[in-house]
Amino acid sequence: MKRNTMLTMVFTLVGFMVSYIPSVSAETCPVKGGTLVWGHSETTQNLYIHQTGTISTLRILQNIHDGLVTADKDLNIIPELAESYEVSSDGLTYTFNLREGVKFHDGSDLTSADVKYSFETLMDPDTGAVNKPVFNSVGSIDTPDDYTVIIKMDQINMPFLGRLAGLGAGAIIPEGSASIQGETPIGAGPLKFVRREMGNEVELERFNDYWDGPACIDRLIAKEVTEPTVRLTGLRTGEMDLINDIPADRIEEIKNDKNLKVLSWSHGVFDFVNLNYKHEPFQDERVRLAIDYMIDKEMLLQGALWGQGKIAASPGFVSSASYNKNLNQRPQDIAKAKALLAEAGYGPGDLKVVFKATTNYPYHVEAAQILVEWFRQAGVELTIEQLTWADWLSQVWVDKDFQMSMMNFNSIWEEDFLYYSLYNSTGGFNYRGINDTVIDELTEKARVTVDDGARADIYREVQQRVFDKVHDIVVWHRNSSFGTQKNIGGLDTLVNGDGATYHFHRVWIEK
Amino acid sequence: MAYIIHRLFSMAITLFLISIITFTVTNILPGDVAMMIMGTQSNPEALANLRENLGLNDPLVYQYSKWIIGMLTGDWGNSLLFKMPIGPILLQKMTASGLIVLLSMIIALALAVPLGVWSAVYKNKWQDTVSSSASIVGVSLPDFFWGIMLILLFARALGWLPSSGFVDPGEDFLLALKHAFLPSLALGLGLMAHLTRMTRATMTGILSQEFIRVARAKGLAERVVVWQYGLANAVGPVMTVAGLQMGYLFGSIIVMESLFNYTGMGWLTYQALLNRDIPLIQATVFVIAAVVMLINLIVDLLYPFFDPRIKLK
Amino acid sequence: MAATGDILSMNNLETKKPVVSINDLQVKFKSDGETVIAVNKISFNVHAGETVCLVGESGSGKSVTSLSLMRLVEFGGGEITNGSLVLERNNKQVKNLVEADASTMRSIRGNEVGMIFQEPMTSLNPVFTIERQLTDGLRLHTNLSGGETREKALQLLKEVRIPDPEKRLRQYPHELSGGMRQRVVIAMAMACRPRLLIADEPTTALDVTIQAEILALINRLKHETGMAVLFITHDMAVVAQMADRVVVMYRGDMIEEAPVEKIFSEPKEDYTKALLAAVPQLGEMAGTSEPRPLDIPGHETLQKNQTKNLTARQETVLEVQNLITRFPVYGGVFRRKVANVHAVENVSFSIKKGETMALVGESGCGKSTCGRSILRLVEPVSGQILLNNQNILALNSHELRKTRRDMQMIFQDPFASLNPYMTLRDQIAEPLKNFGLVSKSEIEDIICDMLRKVELPLGFLKRFPHELSGGQRQRVAIARAIVVNPSLVVADEAVSALDVSVQAQVLNLMMALQDQLGLSYLFISHDMAVVERVSHKVGVMYLGRLVEHGSRAQIFENPQHEYTKSLMAAVPIADPKQRNISGDISFKPIPSPVFPVDQVIESPIYKEVETGHWVLTNK
Amino acid sequence: MKNLKKLFNPKGLIGSTLVILVVLIAIFAPLIIPPEYATRMDMRARLSPPDFSHWLGTDQLGRDLFYRMMLGARTSINIATSAVLMSLIIGLPLGLMSGYFGGRVDNVLMRLVDTLLSFPALLLALTISAVLGPSMQNTIIAIGIAFTPYLARLIRGEALRVSQMPYVEAAISSGATHLRLIIGHVLPNIMPVIIVQSTISLAFAILAEAGLSFLGLGTQPPEASWGLMIQASRDYLDRAPWTALVPGTAVALTVLGLNMFGDVLRDVLDPRSD
């Protein structure tokens, strides 16, 4: 493979790769040391990064593990444990050159054997790895020497590198450590796992031999506090240095508190209202359109999230090149909705819809309650069924037994992962039963389109199609937030490009 | 001795029934364990694999015997949610909950016994009215309402005590007590009200008995008559009721621990239920039922120490 | 000896100051805002060495009077509103207890005035040892050391003649029999050598032999210490045995006060007369063969038509043969049957039409179980019961239900034997409806007729049981039993819970009904005097066995079995001239009727000592 | 009955007044107040404290807490009553049979009941409602089943006690059939206990409904129920305590009324107490 071919293929990526390394290395810690107490909004579960499917656990694990490649703030793919990589012109061979002198927390050196081990256990069906599909086209993994890994694909799969950079898919664990990862994860990341008191707190400490320079803080204690008001109290009393997920209605309050500061961003999480195609009335485009017209997205955002977000018509990351900026949400128009329903044969009171909302996202329940009012005005009777997360997953996600629902996705920035999974008729996340041949063709085509610009165009087209056909009603990109004490620095490095996971490497505490 | 063996034997049968009920109920729980493990980022192939690996496709009887043999041999399996052996988790969470259950029982008894006795001594006088009214109000308030009030008062308004969290008593006992105090107090107040009513009723009965008159006729002071002659007879019944209330306490901690973010058995059970972590649900439900039963057995076996009339036959 | 002692103390009466003097006592109770005067204008004295009996029926205020003396009445919600209670204290000073403060009262209670209560089963604290309960009074009132109080406690137990006193000190009350417990209570009351002993119905709950023991003990202690005794009782026979002087009370008022002989020989007040008339006296039926109604002043004595009964009493109504009823005792790891309570053991007897057969014995002897076994309210183990020649034990449940019409029961507790949620009309009508005996239109007539028969006003029909007095309830129970014209009525302690005057009325009613209807009674009772009065035939039960049975005259005038004799000897006679309670009496305690499963029980062998008079000869 | 006057002592008066008030509200509030008042939102008046336009303030969606409380009464009372009725329908025959007939059936039933009693009621209700899924009907079933063993045990004990009373033996002697004994004698005599216990169970059922809703497994929004209102208030406790205090007080007063009423009823229904 010739180097310049690669450059044309992944031009933008290489450019950032070069600029990335010095920028981080140049950065030093203004203050070193201290224990950072983080009020974490969720409970960590299985700590084996390749098995865990929840963002909450990844937020911790992303600090313990580094991947072969990663994504920067603007979602460009950059090397991490790999010093550089090359993709062959046919898109079938990936060569990674590993960084030398990288150490795992147990003191061992990172070699190509560890990479091979990590990926092969990941691909083993018995592992039950969530990211196994990322490796679906991988034919073989070769390690010609200690610092070179060659991955050969059976067929072209352009999203491979992007997927490898997200959700811990490319995380490398020491050879033979799979069995202990669940309880005592070991990686090559900036923080080292110390202990977990289940349901209570996780403690990490600085890994002094980290390849990119040791972290600023000595210790990170992530207290698992699911009750938002309790987290808030912890922050107020100084018991906690920073907390994520400030209750939406309290952000203004924290902003006005002179001892505290707020970090908030609106990329990473989008919410959409789902209509099930298996439910007969929703097969009619006019009904779907009518429902879109019933919803005042800005009002819904105010009601459910106290305005903490930005209304948007596309699920894509605004920062990504493929984002379709031309889409505008339909305004609320009850009269039009009524007319559309009448046209579809549903007079007032004819349509009765059950809305399954999960208590895992209380604001979905709030949103549903607001929808009930608008639907009533449009002559549709909406009833709510609250489901626990487990019930929602099994009923809506697996059994597709629902009429209407609402969901949010976070951190899915890789376009194939996002659009193919959600909208291709065979997509893994297509629980609405969307079957649109145009979208199927577009998403398949994107997989083998080598040119970035062309791929971005295709995905913009997909977004347009979803909007036109009202396959889903995307409502907003939700704000995520951190509340911190005034003396916490380096916050600009805290949130990863996916908008959902955090990196505490360069966060520091002023004395 | 034969009695104790008989009780243990009968306990074994009850435990067996408890295990069957637990197993049956958890197996008809809707929701897919494999799905829960993988979350939204899963795929059908991996799911099928996982189901097979978890033994979810085995016949129920086989699953049950595997489970019960595991429970008996100390292999309680792994939590699907936390990917950790269940035994140590339960031990840790049981300690945490044990602390608030015990503390709330102590608070409840320390308040209820004097109040109940006071009430019985001054039956139908204003002292009784005050104490009876307080206890009926106490019984009537939902315990999480107590919890909310206590959080508002002690944690928010006064800032004296932490409103949430759990600290391992092994690490810092005083801090652990501080964290356990509010949930215990909230639980204890509801329980206290119940026990006060019970103590009052028992003491009223005892104080109208002839031996109390005899004690007075001996010239003993009221203090001795009530607090020694009377109370010694109330210990048994009050302990029995307190034992029976353990069931109520272990139910209430589910709400209370969730409210106070106190990660004990109640929290664990709730998490397990929400996440359909079947092995964990089975273990927690089984352990709670077994512990409740065991506590009552212990109270029964201790009864002869409070009341020499009761012989264990 | 006792008689002379009494005369001695009587002689001293005029010269000595009374130990306690009650003047114009009035006590009020408040409940639900209403004030009730419990006793009013009570005045009497008790002298040293004298026993004053306070006698009256329930509600007469006799217990309130005694409790007032200890100022214990206040703990029950009472208040002394008038009068004085003057006690001569140990230091010879005189103190009006009504004005005494709490600490003075505490120094008097248990020290200068001791008290014994009715229920030995409940008057000891079940969770403290005997030693603790005996010594805490001593520690309070004396300045003895720990060792000395223990010595003193031991000495007290010896004084009240408790066997194994060292062992008893370590025991708990439930490990002692009723009689022993009452002795302990007496020892407690006597601990500080009180000047006055108040005994509030101390023997009412006890069996007759134990009653005799306790009464004798109290008498002995009185003579030994010369204390004054205020003895409260409802039982005229006990009064006759114990009293020097008698105070009769009725509904809170003092009716009459006189020396005991005078009360019995020439009562002044009508109430006293009625009370005495209503008490059957053991031995007064000597020489007669038929039951005789009690004399109730104001009621005409019912005349019995003897000839009619004699002819009627030919056919056998009930024949009981070798009846055995046992209750299993479970134990061990697997709750197997480890022993049996032998409640009824090989009992045989028969009752003829119009006849009353009485079963007597002390508590636990199996007399009630025997009666209930005959009605199959408990299932016997074996035996034969022939009611009108029909084998009751062979009936299936359907036939049994039909046959129950012929055998009815009257229970001891009239409060519990009537369904509190049914009107009297429904209670009496129930058997008629259940057996489908009569048409609906006839029911009302029959019920009215029944009510007349049991001498209740017709207006009672719509009432509920709680609106009736005990005697009235028992009349309803009788009406319910006889409304179906049964051949046999089992009356299980049917009058034991009633006051004597009411008891007399109910007994007379039962006898009158027997005359009218030709009923056969199985009359189960612990009261020998009542049995003597009402029965034709008597069986004495002991440990589940019939130890002796025969005609009333044979049993009462010529008792043969040891147990029958001791039972007779223990019964107090309602005549102060025949005092049989004196010195130290000690009867053999009744052994346990619990036997291992494999215990071999010998069949009873009876000897016929005279015609129809059978005595058990083996154990 | 003479006892009736006990209903008019202070405790009886407070208790019955509260109970009657709540029942009246449960029946008439939905007839007087348009049901949409409970769900009508006002985004400009979210979490507003009590004032003239909203007597008891508003919740996080600007819904009037006074109307929600009034209209929520029916939901809470409905669930509690149905659940207690259900546990009675199952528990009464079981307890009666077990206590009356005794023997093997009694042994087996009571062993089962004892086993069920080892499970804390709330845990049982929680598990059942997790099995059945959340809905008002399933909440009723869950609470109903969870309460059944308690009721069955109590009724069994009472039936056993009453069947040994002399008046039952007298009725046997009077030729009464089993049916007549159970219906005519045992049942009427355990009725007071059942009524009193049902009153107190009602109180517990209201608490249980609140507890289940608090954990998100009870009534479904936007339906107003007191438990659900308390649950919704959790996140706004320190900012808007009235959101918790309003439904909390409603629950407390209802339960208080039921408890006091039950206490007094116990005295009133006891024929021996006068």
For residue C111, the chain B residues in CB contact (below 8 A) are 219
| Percentage with pLDDT > 90 across chain C | 18
CA-based nearest distance B100→chain C, Å: 32
Is A234 part of the contact surface with chain D (CB cutoff 8 Å)?
A: no
| Percentage with pLDDT > 70 across chain B | 91
Q: Is residue A362 part of a domain?
A: yes
Q: Determine if the pTM surpasses 0.90.
A: no
Mean pLDDT of C79-89: 88
Q: What does pLDDT average to over chain A? A: 86
Q: What is the pLDDT of residues B109-155, one digit of tens each?
A: 999 899 989 888 887 778 888 888 888 777 777 777 788 788 778 87
**pLDDT value of position A330:** 93
Q: How far apart are CA A19 and CA A17, in angstroms?
A: 6
* pLDDT at residue C312 greater than cutoff 60: no
Model confidence at B46, in pLDDT bands (50, 70, 90)?
A: low
- How many CA atoms lie within 13 Å of A296's alpha carbon, on the beta-carbon side? 17
Q: Is residue B173 part of a domain?
A: yes
CA-based nearest distance B205→chain C, Å: 12
More confident position, C247 or C439: C247
Flag if D170 and C418 touch (Cβ within 8 Å): yes
Cα B118 from chain centroid (whole Å): 27
Q: Which residue among A46, A130, A233 sits closest to B42, beta carbon to beta carbon? A: A130
Mean pLDDT of C402-414: 88
Q: What does pLDDT average to over chain B? A: 81
Please tell me whether residues A448 and A502 are part of one structural domain.
no
* Nearest residue to B167 via CA among B269, B292, B272, B260: B260
- Taking CB atoms within 8 Å and a gap of at least 24, the contacts of A68-71 are A68/A96, A68/A115, A68/A149, A68/A164, A68/A170, A68/A172, A69/A161, A69/A164, A69/A165, A69/A170, A70/A165, A70/A170, A71/A162, A71/A165, A71/A166, A71/A413, A71/A496, A71/A497, A71/A498
**pLDDT value of position A290:** 95
Name C44's bridge partners: C22
* pLDDT at residue A306 greater than cutoff 60: yes
Flag if A385 and D238 touch (Cβ within 8 Å): no
For residue B142, the chain D residues in CB contact (below 8 A) are 207, 210-211, 230, 248, 251-252, 255
CA-based nearest distance B250→chain C, Å: 30
Q: What does pLDDT average to over chain D? A: 84
* pLDDT at residue C7 greater than cutoff 60: no
Q: What is the pLDDT of residues C444-487, one digit of tens each?
A: 888 998 888 888 888 888 888 888 888 888 899 999 998 888 99
Look up residue D76 and give its two tokens.
């809470």
Q: Is residue C586 part of a domain?
A: yes
More confident position, A470 or A228: A470
For residue A229, the chain D residues in CB contact (below 8 A) are 234-238
Please tell me whether residues B132 and B200 are part of one structural domain.
yes
Please tell me whether residues B63 and B139 are part of one structural domain.
no
**CA-based nearest residue in chain B for residue A236:** B156
Q: What is the pLDDT of residues D210-223, one digit of tens each?
A: 888 877 777 777 77
- Taking CB atoms within 8 Å and a gap of at least 24, the contacts of D114-118 are D114/B14, D114/D153, D115/B14, D115/B17, D115/B18, D115/B21, D115/B289, D116/B21, D116/D148, D116/D149, D117/B247, D117/D149, D117/D150, D117/D153, D118/B14, D118/B18, D118/B247, D118/B289, D118/B290, D118/B292, D118/B293
Mean pLDDT of B33-37: 65
Residues of C with CB under 8 A from a CB of B: 70, 72, 75, 105-111, 114-115, 117-119, 122-128, 136-137, 140-141, 172, 174, 185, 188-189, 191, 331-335
Q: Which residue among B211, B221, B307 sits closest to C122, beta carbon to beta carbon? A: B211
Which domain does C608 fall in, by range?
309-406+519-616
Q: Is residue A253 part of a domain?
A: no
Is D174 part of the contact surface with chain C (CB cutoff 8 Å)?
A: yes
**pLDDT value of position A149:** 93
Flag if B292 and D112 touch (Cβ within 8 Å): no
Q: Is residue B50 part of a domain?
A: yes
**CA-based nearest residue in chain B for residue C329:** B313
**pLDDT value of position C462:** 87
For residue D238, the chain A residues in CB contact (below 8 A) are 229, 233
Please tell me whether residues A316 and A455 are part of one structural domain.
yes
Q: What is the pLDDT of residues A149-206, one digit of tens each?
A: 999 999 888 888 888 888 888 899 999 998 888 889 999 999 999 998 877 889 999 9
* pLDDT at residue A16 greater than cutoff 50: no
Please tell me whether residues B215 and B154 are part of one structural domain.
yes
Residues sharing a CB contact under 8 Å with residue D243, sequence separation 6 or more, in sequence order? D47, D57, D59, D60, D65, D229, D232, D233, D236, D237
Q: How far apart are CA A208 and CA A218, in angstroms?
A: 9
Flag if B285 and D127 touch (Cβ within 8 Å): yes
Is D90 part of the contact surface with chain C (CB cutoff 8 Å)?
A: no
Q: Tell me the count of A-D CB pairs closer than 8 A.
A: 58
Please tell me whether residues B235 and B288 are part of one structural domain.
yes
Mean pLDDT of D25-40: 84
Flag if B41 and A397 touch (Cβ within 8 Å): no
Look up residue B202 and give its two tokens.
């028992």
Least confident of C217-221, C405-409, D59-63, D82-86: D59-63
Burial of C417 (0-12, 13-18, 19+ CB in 10 A): buried
Mean pLDDT of C114-139: 87
Residue pair C356/C537 in contact by the 8 Å Cβ criterion: yes
Give the best residue of B41, B93, B148 to mutate against chain A (max A CB count within 10 A): B41
Flag if A386 and D221 touch (Cβ within 8 Å): yes
Work out how many domains chain A is built from and give that number.
Answer: 2
Q: What is the pLDDT of residues A419-462, one digit of tens each?
A: 988 899 988 788 899 999 999 999 999 888 878 888 899 999 99
Q: What is the pLDDT of residues C190-241, one digit of tens each?
A: 888 899 999 998 888 888 888 888 898 888 888 888 899 999 998 888 999 8
Pairing relation of β-strands C228-233 and C545-551?
unpaired
* Nearest residue to B167 via CA among B269, B99, B83: B99
Model confidence at C8, in pLDDT bands (50, 70, 90)?
A: very low
CA-based nearest distance A126→chain B, Å: 7
- The CATH number covering residue C371 comes to 3.40.50.300
Q: What is the pLDDT of residues A382-422, one digit of tens each?
A: 988 888 777 788 788 878 899 999 998 877 888 888 898 88
Please tell me whether residues B190 and B302 are part of one structural domain.
yes
Q: What does pLDDT average to over chain C? A: 85
Q: Is residue B2 part of a domain?
A: no
Q: How many CB atoms lie within 10 A of CB D126?
A: 25
Q: How far apart are CA D226 and CA D206, in angstroms?
A: 9
**pLDDT value of position B30:** 66
**Touching chains, A (3+ CB pairs < 8 A):** B, D
Please tell me whether residues C202 and C83 are part of one structural domain.
yes
For residue D215, the chain B residues in CB contact (below 8 A) are 254-255, 258, 270
The verdict on ipTM greater than 0.85 is no
Work out how many domains chain C is built from and give that number.
Answer: 2
Please tell me whether residues B132 and B58 are part of one structural domain.
no
Greatest C-alpha distance within chain B:
85
Please tell me whether residues B58 and B204 are part of one structural domain.
no
- The CATH number covering residue B121 comes to 1.10.3720.10
CA-based nearest distance A95→chain B, Å: 27
| Percentage with pLDDT > 70 across chain D | 96
Look up residue A452 and give its two tokens.
């970035």
Pairing relation of β-strands A219-224 and A201-206?
antiparallel
Model confidence at C2, in pLDDT bands (50, 70, 90)?
A: very low
Work out how many domains chain B is built from and give that number.
Answer: 2
Give the E-state strand segments of C170-227 in sequence order: 196-200
For residue B41, the chain A residues in CB contact (below 8 A) are 53, 130-131, 167
- The CATH number covering residue A158 comes to 3.90.76.10
**pLDDT value of position D274:** 40
Residues sharing a CB contact under 8 Å with residue C266, sequence separation 6 or more, in sequence order? none
Which domain does A341 fall in, by range?
269-479
Cα A74 from chain centroid (whole Å): 14
Model confidence at C548, in pLDDT bands (50, 70, 90)?
A: very high
Give, in words, the CATH class of D3-39+46-269. Answer: mainly alpha
**pLDDT value of position A475:** 93
Q: Tell me the count of A-B CB pairs closer than 8 A.
A: 115
Please tell me whether residues B65 and B93 are part of one structural domain.
no
Q: How far apart are CA B110 and CA B104, in angstroms?
A: 10
Mean pLDDT of A272-298: 94
Domain boundary residue among B47, B73, B99?
A: B73
Give CA angle at C66 (C60, C68), nearest 5°. 105
Which domain does B268 fall in, by range?
86-306
CA-based nearest distance D22→chain C, Å: 29
**CA-based nearest residue in chain A for residue D228:** A386
Mean pLDDT of D241-262: 86
Please tell me whether residues A452 and A309 are part of one structural domain.
yes
Please tell me whether residues C78 and C19 are part of one structural domain.
yes
Domain segments of chain D: what residues?
A: 3-39+46-269
Residue pair C49/C222 in contact by the 8 Å Cβ criterion: yes
Please tell me whether residues B131 and B66 are part of one structural domain.
no
**pLDDT value of position A189:** 92
Look up residue C418 and give its two tokens.
């009537």
Q: Is residue C388 part of a domain?
A: yes
**Touching chains, B (3+ CB pairs < 8 A):** A, C, D
CA-based nearest distance B48→chain A, Å: 9
Q: How far apart are CA C207 and CA C572, in angstroms?
A: 12
Domain boundary residue among B73, B107, B140?
A: B73
Q: Which residue among B21, B152, B258 sits closest to D238, beta carbon to beta carbon? A: B152
* Nearest residue to C317 via CA among C225, C390, C218: C390
